Amino acid sequence: MRLRRIILLLFLGLLTLPLASLFVLSFQNVDGATFKWYFSILENEKFVSALILTTLVSMAVGAATVVLSFVLSLSWYDRRQLSVVLVLILVVGLLPPDIFSLGLNKFAQAIGFRSSNLFFLITGLVAYTLPIGVLLFWARFYFIDRSIVIAARDIGMKGPSILAKVILPLSSATITACFLLSFLLAFNEYPRTFYLSGSATLLSEFLNGKLSSGADESIYAAGSSTILMSVIVIAGYVVVHQLYARRKAMQELQESAP
């Protein structure tokens, strides 16, 4: 038990210490201006536009991933469809991101697009997050007793009604988790962004360019900003999940009260 705890603490330290050092470097005191580099990136129009565009693209990817993952995950209730979807997510999930993005880029050029646009970028990112989304929903459906669906059919509910009144409400927490996870993955993805963004500059490209060019210390503030956004998203999910769990517990308490 103690050895496992030590290994866990060492592992967490290896993950968090580099991030902590990044925050320390981002607040370097230069001429007495502690937040100099943060003001520097906020005054950089390319950084701000890349941040806004990346956020919008990531939100679109999150929404599309939730819808497609939920629809595809319904194959859980059909064994023949389940095999097809399983093969699909294995192929898409195991394909190297740069190879997939390069192939999609060439396909875009073959049908008349000289450079890929945001549509193909979102398509590539959705393909990247889709297998994870489907697996999240399958993990949720595993704990939904099939007798609930059978009982709903026995009382005359049709497929759309079962979907809207039974499966969808039971999957609300998974929908939130799928959206936030897809958002974070798309927000921090570099290979697909590099190949598919075309003339648009997204945050991962912006940071990679500054890092490669030997940029000033503003790179630390820019990197810290992305970490902060990721932490805020994760914390937001925890808060939403806790509120949902508390609300559900109160409803169950009220229902059980005489």
The structural domains of the chain, ordered by start, are 37-256 (1.10.3720.10)
Contacts of 29 (CB under 8 A, 6+ apart): none
Report the share of the chain in percent with pLDDT over 90: 15
Q: Which ranges of 74-202 would DSSP assign to H, the alpha helix? A: 79-94, 97-110, 118-141, 146-154, 159-162, 168-170, 172-188, 191-196
At residue 132, the pLDDT reads 92
At residue 30, the pLDDT reads 61
Sign of CA dihedral 40, 42, 45, 46: positive
Q: Do 116 and 105 form a contact (C-beta atoms < 8 A)?
A: yes
The pLDDT tens digits for 237-258 are: 888 778 877 887 787 777 776 6
Q: What is the DSSP letter of 49?
A: H
At residue 247, the pLDDT reads 81
At residue 178, the pLDDT reads 93
Q: Is 80 helix (H, G, I), strand (E, B) or coil?
A: helix
At residue 133, the pLDDT reads 93
Structure tokens at 231: 């932490």
At residue 27, the pLDDT reads 76
- Nearest of 191, 197, 193, 137 to residue 168 by alpha carbon: 137
At residue 129, the pLDDT reads 93
Radius of gyration over alpha carbons of the chain, in Å?
Answer: 22
Gap between the Cα atoms of 30 and 36, Å rounded: 7
Gap between the Cα atoms of 148 and 150, Å rounded: 5
Low-confidence ranges of the chain (pLDDT < 70): 1, 29-34, 114-116, 213-216, 257-258
